[in-house]
């Protein structure tokens, strides 16, 4: 066991923590969504997924995209996108009431 593994185990981090849930929802380097409106940018996958889920619950089609793979903890440059022309509607849907 490497020193890093021992430290993570000591602090309660398992190796599985390095592979965030929801990676299958993220479209990495997919040009099909380049023309979709960017609603908001996020730095970590968990938060981005929550906002995408919120739009889906309101009946809006939305995807999470990134130009590059995320790091082992689910962090990176993540864009929440909706089909062209739907950006203003999606932005309003995400505003606090």
> What is the domain range of residue 85?
20-94
Contacts with 9 (C-beta within 8 Å, 6 or more apart), sequence order? 1
Q: What CA–CA distance (Å, rounded) separates 61 from 18? A: 29
User: Which pTM was predicted?
Assistant: 0.77
Whether 81 and 62 have beta carbons less than 8 Å apart is answered as yes
Domain membership of residue 3 (yes or no) is no
What is the 3-state composition of the chain as percent helix, strand, coil, each rounded to the nearest 5? Answer: 40, 25, 35
What are 28-85's pLDDT values in tens digits?
Answer: 999 999 999 999 999 999 999 999 999 999 999 999 999 999 998 889 999 999 999 9
Domain membership of residue 8 (yes or no) is no
Number of domains in the chain: 1
Whether 62 and 52 have beta carbons less than 8 Å apart is answered as yes
């Amino acid at each position: 066991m490497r020193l890093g593994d021992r430290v993570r185990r000591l602090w309660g981090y398992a190796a599985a923590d390095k592979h965030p849930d929801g990676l299958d929802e993220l479209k990495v380097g997919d040009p099909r969504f380049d023309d979709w409106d960017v609603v908001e940018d996020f730095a970590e996958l968990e938060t981005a997924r929550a906002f995408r889920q919120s739009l889906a619950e309101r009946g809006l089609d939305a995807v999470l995209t990134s130009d590059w793979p995320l790091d082992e903890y689910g962090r990176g440059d993540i864009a929440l996108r909706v089909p062209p022309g739907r950006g203003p509607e999606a932005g309003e849907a995400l505003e606090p009431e």
